[in-house]
Structure 1
Amino acid sequence: MSRRPSHPLLHGTAVTALGTLASRVLGMLRDTATAALLGLAAGGVADAFLTAYRIPNLLRRMFGEGALTASYLPVFTAEYARAPRSAWNLAAVLLSLLAVFLGAVVVLGELLFGLLWLCFEDWPDVQLMFGLAAVMMPYLMLVCLAAQISATLHARMRFGVPALTPVVLNLSWLAAAWLVAPRVTSDPRQQAYILAAAIVFAGVMQVLVQLPALWASGFRWSYDLPAARTPLRTVVRNLLPMLFGLAVTQINTFVDGLLAWGLSRAPNDPELIPWLGDAIRYPLQRGAAAAVYYSERVYEFPLGILGMAVATAIFPLLSQHAARNDRARLGQDLSLGLRMVLFLGLPAGVGLMLLAAPVVELLFQRGEFTAADAHRAADMLFWYSASVWAYCATPVVIRAFYALGQAHIPVRVAAGMVVLNIALNLLFIWPFAEVGLALSTAICGVVQLGWLVALLVRRHIPLEWTLLAATAVRTVLATAAMAAATATLLWHLEPKPEIVTKLLRVVVPVLFGIATYCAAYLILGRRELATLLGSQQPGHSPFDAD
């Protein structure tokens, strides 16, 4: 029988997911090399470097991959449908203005961090963090320009090159951590500065590698500000609320990192916090900020491959449906996206919970990264992983609000989540140390998703609840079978320090878990497997009810 044509969402998701998978694998290798180079708690260098990296990285996600992209893509799509030449002019004008604005932000950031570096001469760990942040500030402008080019390519349904662009960052960082820094100097502080310079170099390359694809998609430079004024105003008008709303996950993890860095006690520090009047003890120990980063990187692996891949691919489709006021199709595609992330995200999260310790030991426990460091990071990863399914679904739901032009809804939810996250952080870190940061983020992830879905339903988006419920039941049952089988197997695999044993304690349970999950799903009903594999039979839509 002839195969049913692949749904555009499935094609875009597959391309984006494959590119993201390559980037994430290289990202794990770069983090492995960084952990071996700088360790977790030794000397406080890892805390300083990873906290400094969060600053341009947060702004990059908010301006480049987040709010600006979300406010720009629907406008470009609508403008291209009306007049392609006008759309390309909008792209050129926006890239120019973005370069000027972010260039000014970089200059101000350099001045600020330079001043702070001078002010903290007696605090070497703090001074190191501000010095590294100053070196990495140009990365903000470069990677935001790269992200804007990627958004333009996404609007033209070109996903391949944008999906591979993050590979450039990971290759540059990996080369610096593995090949360059250890050979240039043995001083961890100087090694951290080499890593920072490699990140800036990667930003330059991320812009350059996308220019041929942009040209091939039809872009021609044409700067006509008056002609672009109307669509540009729409982009700017939507930007500010989106700026905060789309980046809530990044804001919460950024807060986690800052709290972990600011409330950590170095070995020679007093027990009580001096800047709080010596009335409260330090809740965390040095290395907490690095533990937050490394555990985040592991749980963000499925989030980047699954959640963001679906969200990236679904956004142009939702924007097209919203532009035609076709809420029925919007609800269908959104429901399909949610079913996909639930089908993939729940077993991924449970699997990470079961394999938290083996995964961290395999990836990071070498060089300066000790067994005690691995134990700290694994404890955090366990609780972060509990809400992977919610983290994956949230970007998909947020894209629906932006496609509908209702950016103020995620903003309100985001504001509540930031407040809740800070409150839970401060509530949990004294009794649970850094694990409390992960627990807080996990709770906020579930609350945020539930709140957003409830508000979306109130806006009369017809989600396919029967299909969603059927997928949820099948997924929970199949995941339970997978968890029982994987836990039993893992119990029989004795932990040993050899790298081959560490690898087997991850690979064998993962493969066994995937096989068990798929087998259980085939028994329960193969609908989601058939949809993902594009094997739906003619006459049977992936949206049909069971």
Structure 2
Amino acid sequence: MSSLKRTAIWITLLALLVKLSGFLRESIIAKQFGANEYTDGYLLAFSFITLVLAVISGGFNNVFLPLYIQKKKKDPEAAEKNANGIMNATVAIFLIVTVIGYFFAPSFVPIIFGNMTPMTETVAVKITKIFFLFMSAIALNGILDSYLQGRRIFVPSQISKLLATLMGAVFALLFSDVWGIYSLAYGFVFGIILGIVLMFFYLQKNGYRWSPTFAVDKEFRQTFLVLLIPSLLNSLVGQMNMFIDKMFASGTIEGAVTYLNNASLLVSIPHTIYGTTIAAIMFTLLSEQVDDQRKFQQTFFTGMELSLMTLMPIAVGLLFVGDAAISFVYERGRFTAEDTHNTYIALLFYLPLIITQGLQYIVSKSMYAQGKTAIVLRISVTTIALNTLLNYLFVKSLGYPGLALSSSLVSFYYLTACTISVYKGFEQGEAKKLFWLIVRVSLPTAIMAVPLYVIKYWTPVGHWYSLLQLAVLVPIGVVFYIVGTYFFYRDGFYRLLRMVKTKQRAV
């Protein structure tokens, strides 16, 4: 278990580094290009490639990894043959997709993204064509990630993600005068290729040998294809909702896509890092304990407890320091104080996502461990219709912030529906434990919020330079939350403290 924790810690640190490099990239975009039609076009095109990556890394991995591991235990040679066959076939399919996408991008991009300004459309089409040229490389990057996980090699995959993000930032700094906004796309592709080289190196070092074959065992192929479709659809849903949001945003004000993107990036840091750790530890525990109801319930509750205790204060804290954080990261060059304010408005409506998506990691993993993939898919599909409807209703009255509100409401619905499904199989009294957990974590969070509100709005601190505000408000919030937790939820306080000490020893 200590080895698993060490792995989780390294992955968490690398995930944090990836997110910080994402902020570096967005900060450079803000400085070099501001928030305008050019950045909107880039972000619309980039959202499409993010969709492809999510489907491959999520949907493909959820099916391939367990099948590959099972086959490897029985027949290692056949497992490697199947792996090569599937990889080669996938790359070949995406070569065909490359040709189709490159030549037809001017036709389908305007249809997908709806009302765009002429300049936004021009940028979105050109960057989409750049991405399609290298679609096979992007797909291969996601597939190699699964192979590495199958061999318990985790670090190169995170470094690959880091390279893709960092190279975008580096190219924007070095070549923006030559290529403009397109330098970001070239940098991203260059980073993807570097990541492929790195992952192949580690695979070869671990004994992997590539072979030019498309052959796959009949049983393996049939099982893979049967499971792949629902898995891909499930991975597609979340990204589709983000995609729909940007389609609606492109028809509001100039810079709206950028405001939503910058706000969601800040909001995504806590639950993304937390989810990376959960994926390494909690899913394993839940899968091991699925036949022991009591242990399964306790592990599930522990995951929910840890999620709420870490993510609820972060969400409430960003209510008071979010504007300073946005200003510190983005406000320079062409990104003005007005852009900061517009991004902060979107952030306010996104804040519930920190809690709901963090909790969703636990709920979803427990359902996957129990084999409830079909139920997860059915619930996921309904979120697309709900998100589209809410976007249509809110964007008329609230503009682009309504899209952030819609995302939060849809996430709450998704979490609630999945949680109800999980608790149907639990013993009576477990739901009551969850209710009181929410109450007990809310009390110290409220104790933290009161002094932050007073200091932020009733003292000169709220007018200080953004970094100084963060330096004052964040430590105060941490201290008040820790003290409040000690007095109002001492059991949870000690459990969290023991976990932190255990991780420190593991490092």
The answer to whether the superposition gives a TM-score over 0.5 is yes
Give distance in 1, aligned partners of 2:292 and 2:390.
40
2:84–2:214 contact (8 Å) kept in structure 1: no
1:237-316 correspondence runs (5 A)? 237-261=226-250, 263=251, 284-316=252-284
Q: Does structure 1 residue 92 correspond to structure 2 residue 84?
A: yes
Q: Does structure 1 residue 61 correspond to structure 2 residue 54?
A: yes
CA, structure 1 residues 115+470, in 2 after alignment: closer, same or farther (shift >3 Å)? closer
1:133-532 correspondence runs (5 A)? 133-181=128-176, 184-185=177-178, 190-221=179-210, 228-261=217-250, 263=251, 284-319=252-287, 330-459=296-425, 468=434, 471-491=437-457, 492-495=459-462, 501-523=465-487, 524-525=489-490, 526-532=493-499
Give distance in 2, aligned partners of 1:222 and 1:527.
53
| Larger mean Cα displacement after TM superposition, 47-56 or 243-252 | 243-252
Give distance in 2, aligned partners of 1:302 and 1:32.
19
Q: How much does 1:60 deviate?
A: 1.0
* Matching residue within 93, 112, 118 for 1:123: 118
1:36-75 correspondence runs (5 A)? 36-41=31-36, 44-63=37-56, 65-75=57-67
Aligned to 1:33: 28
2:95–2:136 contact (8 Å) kept in structure 1: yes
Give distance in 2, aligned partners of 1:132 and 1:52.
6
Residue type matched to 1:502 in 2? S
1:481–1:517 contact (8 Å) kept in structure 2: yes
Aligned to 1:102: 94
Residue type matched to 2:417 in 1? W
2:171–2:184 contact (8 Å) kept in structure 1: yes
Aligned to 1:77: 69
Q: Deviations over 1:423-482 (max 9, x none)?
A: 111111111111100111001111101101112233559996576556434422222222
1:327–1:462 contact (8 Å) kept in structure 2: no
CA, structure 1 residues 357+315, in 2 after alignment: closer, same or farther (shift >3 Å)? same
Residue type matched to 2:419 in 1? V
2:267–2:353 contact (8 Å) kept in structure 1: no
CA RMSD of aligned residues (A): 3.0
2:81–2:215 contact (8 Å) kept in structure 1: no
Residue type matched to 1:195 in 2? L
Q: TM-score, normalised by structure 1?
A: 0.83
Tell me which protein shows more helix as a share of its residues.
2
CA, structure 1 residues 237+475, in 2 after alignment: closer, same or farther (shift >3 Å)? same
Aligned to 1:276: none
CA, structure 1 residues 213+179, in 2 after alignment: closer, same or farther (shift >3 Å)? same
Give distance in 1, aligned partners of 2:32 and 2:374.
43
Residue type matched to 2:137 in 1? L
| Larger mean Cα displacement after TM superposition, 357-366 or 106-115 | 106-115
Give distance in 1, aligned partners of 2:369 and 2:498.
24
CA, structure 1 residues 231+15, in 2 after alignment: closer, same or farther (shift >3 Å)? farther
CA, structure 1 residues 380+89, in 2 after alignment: closer, same or farther (shift >3 Å)? same
1:143–1:206 contact (8 Å) kept in structure 2: no
Q: How much does 1:370 deviate?
A: 1.2
1:136–1:196 contact (8 Å) kept in structure 2: yes
Q: Deviations over 1:47-70 (max 9, x none)?
A: 11111111111111112x221111
CA, structure 1 residues 255+121, in 2 after alignment: closer, same or farther (shift >3 Å)? closer
2:110–2:121 contact (8 Å) kept in structure 1: no
Residue type matched to 1:511 in 2? P
2:160–2:192 contact (8 Å) kept in structure 1: no
| Larger mean Cα displacement after TM superposition, 294-303 or 74-83 | 74-83
Residue type matched to 1:67 in 2? G
CA, structure 1 residues 75+218, in 2 after alignment: closer, same or farther (shift >3 Å)? same
CA, structure 1 residues 507+26, in 2 after alignment: closer, same or farther (shift >3 Å)? farther
Give distance in 1, aligned partners of 2:152 and 2:484.
35
Give distance in 2, aligned partners of 1:150 and 1:379.
36
Q: TM-score, normalised by structure 2?
A: 0.88
Give distance in 1, aligned partners of 2:495 and 2:138.
36
2:55–2:236 contact (8 Å) kept in structure 1: yes
Give distance in 2, aligned partners of 1:101 and 1:216.
27
Residue type matched to 1:177 in 2? A
Residue type matched to 1:427 in 2? L
Residue type matched to 1:451 in 2? A
Give distance in 2, aligned partners of 1:78 and 1:511.
48
1:21–1:305 contact (8 Å) kept in structure 2: yes
Structure 1 residue runs of 5 or longer lacking an equivalent are 264-283, 537-546
SS in 1 for 2:181: helix
2:88–2:214 contact (8 Å) kept in structure 1: no
2:386–2:410 contact (8 Å) kept in structure 1: yes
Residue type matched to 2:486 in 1? L
CA, structure 1 residues 440+147, in 2 after alignment: closer, same or farther (shift >3 Å)? same
Give distance in 1, aligned partners of 2:432 and 2:110.
61
| Larger mean Cα displacement after TM superposition, 110-119 or 447-456 | 110-119
1:334–1:463 contact (8 Å) kept in structure 2: no
2:230–2:377 contact (8 Å) kept in structure 1: yes
Residue type matched to 1:288 in 2? A
Structure 2 residue runs of 5 or longer lacking an equivalent are none
SS in 2 for 1:482: helix
Q: How much does 1:131 deviate?
A: 1.1
Q: Deviations over 1:159-195 (max 9, x none)?
A: 33323321101210111222321xx34xxxx411121
Q: How much does 1:316 deviate?
A: 4.7
Give distance in 2, aligned partners of 1:302 and 1:316.
21
CA, structure 1 residues 118+375, in 2 after alignment: closer, same or farther (shift >3 Å)? closer
